[in-house]
Amino acid sequence: MRLLGRAGLEFDLHVWLDNFLNKFQVQSELAIAIDQQFQENKIVMSFQGVKVKYKPKGTEEMQLETSREALRQKRGDILGKVRRLRRVHPTSMAGAMSDAGIDGGIMGNRLWGVLWTILIVVGSTAFPAGAQEGQLPMDTALVGRELKIGVVVAPPFLEKDAAGHLSGIALDLWRDVARDMGVRWKVVEYELEPLLDAVRDGAVDVGVSALSITPERENLMDFSQPFYYSGLGIAVPAKEPGGIVSRIFDAIFSKRVLLYIGSLLGLLLLVGTVVWFMERRRNPRNFRPGARGIGDGLWWSAVTMTSVGYGDTTPKTLAGRAVALVWMFASVALLASFTAGITSSLTLESMGGAAIEPEDLNKVRTGVVRGTSAEEELVASHTGIYRYDTVENGLQALLKGDLDAFVHDQPILQYYQHQEYTGRLRVLPVFFDPQLYGFAFPRGSALRKIVNVAMLRRLEDSQYRDRLFGPYLGKAAGR
């Protein structure tokens, strides 16, 4: 450096920071560190005319590109100055060599050696070994380690085919993040609770699955930034398009409407039979013997319920009139309930499930999987529910018409809609009880920060999100 300075050469020394992302989390922190550690301590200084400058700018990728461009410029400048030095008059060069204390016979060889050494050093500094495109610097404690990844099969975040091959949203994302970090890893399968225990105890380095971030879990372990935001979704049967006549026909003769009508007819027949039994002997004119008398009782209960009351059939006995009095008052409430039920059923049938919102679930037959957050949420909101052992059982009941809606984690419902029930199942665009999904780490893990950066770099690309979520949840899931 002294020889170059005496020869009148200047150059910039560009420094590459190892483990840059762990040292400086945001750009402002880097600027503060540079101000305090470099500028105030006057690292920019001269060694007998040789200026050494430290000029980091922006992110690590920006530093790399800046260093490459600066290297190309400095190579050209140095080679140009070398050419000019070779054209210097021998007398002037001798003076420069004398001032520098360099023997004239070996000056050319030494100077050329020093210059090419500078070129090699600057080149290796700007292009460090292992700084491949997209790869992130690793903490030295992690270099060379094989990470242990704990997984739980939970489609679509992690699924296992018949051949034992693992895939899914969470594992595909982890595979890309690990490639960016340049680490090796192996998979260990768990059930959900054993996996959470393994992460908490440090038996695995990362937990990868449909792991929702909750306050209770955050208190025991660390989580990455969420890679998926969702909640509880609502699945309804997909209605085939048809004409207005067919839709009206389907609505009127739906199972729910027919159930209401059948229940009403059964109640009318019961009350009519009771009144006929009490009136058949003392009032045979209005309530005839045999089956015709039961028909008279059914007619009387129907006209009494609707408040028509033609008066052609009336009870005469005290017991018969007491039943009639009770039936008159009860009919008011029963008729209102029947009308509301029929109206609700016709509306839901005609809208094909589009009218179902989270607040409407208490008005329809709703199914959940036993022991899930969906069950807890709906029980807390005092919603009547039907419980099933698995998601498949609940969806089959929905498609058979035993349910009006099925509530479960929205991404899982979207997976079944996209993979197994295409055209038969529809997941509504609304969701409730929001949930965040991320990777789990033992407390204080050195991996978390660098995984966060690598993951966020991936997910900020909309095309990558389409490739990640699309095969499992459909094309619109990544937006």
Q: What is the pLDDT of residues 262-288, one digit of tens each?
A: 888 898 899 989 988 888 888 888 888
Residue ending a domain, among 351, 385, 416, is: 351
Distance CA 283, CA 94 (A): 145
Q: Indicate whether 365 and 344 sit together in one domain.
A: no
Q: Name the residue among 22, 27, 225 with its Cα closest to residue 139.
A: 22
Q: State residue 121 phi and psi, 5-degree precision.
A: -65, -45
Residue 131 lies in a domain: no
How far, in Å, are 159, 172, 264, 341, 417 from residue 166 at the CA level? 6, 9, 54, 47, 21
User: How many angstroms separate the CA atoms of 475 and 450, rounded?
Assistant: 29
Burial classification of residue 34, based on how many CB atoms lie within 10 Å of its CB (0-12 exposed, 13-18 middle, 19 or more buried):
middle
Q: Could you say which of 432, 450, 469 is where a domain stops?
A: 432
- Domains identified in the chain, total number: 4
- CATH, residue 306: 1.10.287.70
Residue linked to tokens 């060379």: 144
Residue 39 and residue 12 share a domain: yes
The residues, ordered by sequence, that sit 6+ positions from 378 with a Cβ below 8 Å of its Cβ are: 361, 366, 368, 385, 407
State CA 373 to chain mean position distance: 16
- Do 172 and 284 lie in one domain? The reply is no
Owner of token pair 């594992």: 171
Q: At which of 84, 107, 126 does a domain end?
A: 126
Residue bearing tokens 């105030």? 40
109 and 51 within one domain: yes
- Residue 248 and residue 264 in one domain: yes
Residue 478's domain is classified under what CATH number?
3.40.190.10
479 residues of the chain, pLDDT tens digit each: 445 444 555 545 444 555 444 444 444 444 455 445 444 443 443 333 333 444 444 445 555 566 666 666 766 676 666 666 555 544 444 444 444 444 444 444 454 454 444 444 444 444 443 333 444 555 555 666 789 999 999 888 999 988 889 999 999 999 999 998 888 999 999 998 999 999 999 999 999 998 989 888 999 999 999 999 888 999 998 875 555 566 666 666 777 778 878 888 898 899 989 988 888 888 888 888 888 888 888 888 888 887 766 666 778 888 888 888 888 888 888 888 888 777 766 665 554 544 467 888 888 889 999 888 888 889 988 888 999 999 999 999 999 989 989 999 888 898 898 888 888 898 988 888 888 999 999 999 989 999 999 999 999 999 999 999 988 887 766 55
Same domain, yes or no, for 8 and 119?
yes
In a domain, 309, yes or no: yes
Instruction: Please indicate, yes or no, whether residues 260 and 320 belong to a single structural domain of this protein.
Output: yes
- What DSSP line would sit under 168-193, residue for residue? -HHHHHHHHHHHHHT-EEEEEE--HH
pLDDT of residue 435: 87
Based on the domain organization, do 149 and 120 belong to the same domain?
A: no
Helix axes of 410-419 and 462-473: crossing angle, nearest 10 degrees: 70
- Same domain as 115, residue 36: yes
Residue 45's domain spans which residues?
Answer: 2-126
- In a shared domain, residues 120 and 24: yes
The answer to whether residue 98 sits within a structural domain is yes
Q: How far apart are CA 432 and CA 436, in angstroms?
A: 12
- The 10s digit of each residue's pLDDT in 59-83 is 455 555 666 666 667 666 766 666 6
Q: Are residues 403 and 472 in the same domain?
A: no
Within a domain: 338? yes
224 touches 208 (CB < 8 A): no
Residue 399 sits in the same domain as residue 463: no
pLDDT at residue number 149? 96
